[in-house]
Chains A and B, each alone.
Chain A
């Protein structure tokens, strides 16, 4: 524990790069509630919209559509449970093959979850309106984040305590 509240720290490379450019501490941290909530909500929204476009029938009565949409939120939660479990098995297999051994399991999960979400965001590009734009925003953010990770790695700023 610490009783000193430090400056802003972030988990994602894009935000860490921005902090670094402003002369701050670019080490990775999981302490930013706003960052966590925004990214978590966005991932949930992408998964939710992906499944909604695949499985929800919008030709039914309005109350049936509403019921499906409510039920879908719980289905996405159950899907996450399953996804996290399958990912944990994949990570175990990859580790026996020598991969992902130096990073914590939750970061390896983060990479796999990011890949699944990006695949869903790609599928959202085939839809229309704001749903398509949301998919595009996610893809742009992923590209910028990867680019930032490269810049941070080149600047040796990517290492944090316990990482």
Chain B
């Protein structure tokens, strides 16, 4: 019974079957069939990924106040369509080694990040964050530790880790953000050794420390970890986003680094200041690129 449930789970929306299918399609499908296939796959998931659809719809109602529900359904479709292109282009980069064009917004900050001795890259579930890590490792010839939210399906998690590590040609190491303290010490050690750690700062997972912030006028909970890590290690936080700007074309958006102070008076106050700066950057990027914010998990802005 359990084995048949596990087998069926492969075909769930976040099951490994779709990731494997994507890899197969990337190798097998001529590029000119993509537009039509992406349209139909988007339509398929628009109907079958109902929880994700409802979450994006709720997010849009907050991001775009006063927008009509009908129009927001179309915007959800657009977000899913962007996601479809984004993950397929990441697979194309990994498997076909095709070239992509990119433009850097905040090139000076990116150069500083590339040369930094220990830094935290704080990003969001936006655009092609997986491709971004591979690009960073390739451009600066540096290793990067990528901390991801855990996947609900174990096989999908294994597949994603292997994909990211292959895409980064060994320079991208993937860790999963779980409740244990071991990872925190590991990351702190990595930062002290001068490594770069990339963390997604727009989703809170159960069991992780959290901190409150304001986003689009709503109180939300953000992960506390990156800020505490930055405070303890004295490493700067670089907000970085990889947005899709067209067919096989991306924008790398890097903002001014956030320093978490250690004034010695009130630790929570120092953290709150940094979190406020991060939520400001996040709000601006999401407002400009709501169709690329792939926050499909519950319990964030919509709660």
Contacts and interface: CB of A to CB of B under 8 A. Distances in A.
B185 interface: no
Interface string A29-70: 011010111011101100000000000000000000000000
Contacts, number: 83
Interface string A56-93: 00000000000000000010010010001001100000
A162 interface: yes
A3 B31 contact: no
A109 interface: yes
A2 interface: yes
Contacts of A41: 35-36
Given A2-B99, A162-B97, A84 B28 contact: yes
A11 B33 CA distance: 13
A37 to B, nearest CB: 5
B100 A109 contact: no
Interface residues of A, number: 31
B92 to A, nearest CB: 9
A87 B33 CA distance: 14
Contacts of A33: 246-248
Contact of B28 (A36, A43, A106, A162): A106
A133 to B, nearest CB: 21
Interface in B1-49: 24-25, 27-37, 40
A50 to B, nearest CB: 15
A127 interface: no
Contacts of B246: 33
Contacts of A44: 36
A27 to B, nearest CB: 12
Contacts of B104: 3
A84 B29 contact: yes
Given A2-B100, A40-B33, 16 more contacts: A1-B93, A1-B138, A1-B139, A2-B99, A3-B102, A11-B32, A30-B98, A35-B32, A36-B31, A36-B34, A36-B35, A41-B35, A43-B32, A77-B36, A84-B25, A106-B27
A105 B24 CA distance: 10
A101 interface: no
B158 interface: no
Interface of A: 1-5, 11, 30-31, 33, 35-37, 39-41, 43-44, 74, 77, 80, 84, 87-88, 104-107, 109-110, 113, 162
B281 interface: no
Interface in B71-99: 93, 96-99
A3 B248 contact: no
A138 to B, nearest CB: 14
26 contacts: A1-B101, A1-B135, A1-B138, A1-B139, A2-B99, A2-B101, A5-B249, A30-B98, A31-B101, A36-B34, A36-B35, A40-B34, A40-B36, A43-B33, A74-B40, A77-B36, A84-B28, A87-B28, A88-B24, A104-B27, A106-B29, A106-B30, A106-B31, A107-B30, A109-B29, A113-B30
